[in-house]
Amino acid sequence: MRPSNPVVAALVDAVNAGDRTAFYDLLTGDAALTDDGVARDLAEWCDANLFDADARLTPEREALDGSRLIVAVRDDKWGEMTTYWDFTVDGDKIGRIDTGQAAAIGED
């Protein structure tokens, strides 16, 4: 499924294309990220877990008016898993990403 929010859809496309520039251009200057509720350095985490790991995101469904995705992730670091991605969208930019295991929010 394609995310209904065009900014979120563009971010997924950037990850799947391995396009760091397009990805980072979609974020606000002070964007933040949490993984399983723990604040992470956004650039360090995204580089290690998305781009260096050759991650591919396959959205399965969305909720919260398109600001939450349940995503099948495949990457060279962790293999395959189902995760949630919550986005705080500010105009045409993303200001916050919260991600983690989908089971943690009752979605698996």
Q: Let me know if residue 1 belongs to a domain.
A: no
Domain-located, residue 55? yes
Mean per-residue pLDDT, 20-35: 98
Domain that holds residue 81: 6-105
Is 39 a domain residue?
yes
Report the CATH number that the domain containing residue 98 is assigned in CATH.
3.10.450.50
Q: How many CB atoms lie within 10 A of CB 108?
A: 12
Is residue 77 in a domain? yes
For β-strands 93-101 and 27-35, DSSP reports them as: parallel
Amino acid 69 reads: L
Query: pLDDT tens, 34-74?
Result: 999 999 999 999 999 999 999 999 999 998 888 899 999 99
What pLDDT sits at residue 4?
94
When divided into structural domains, the chain yields a total of 1
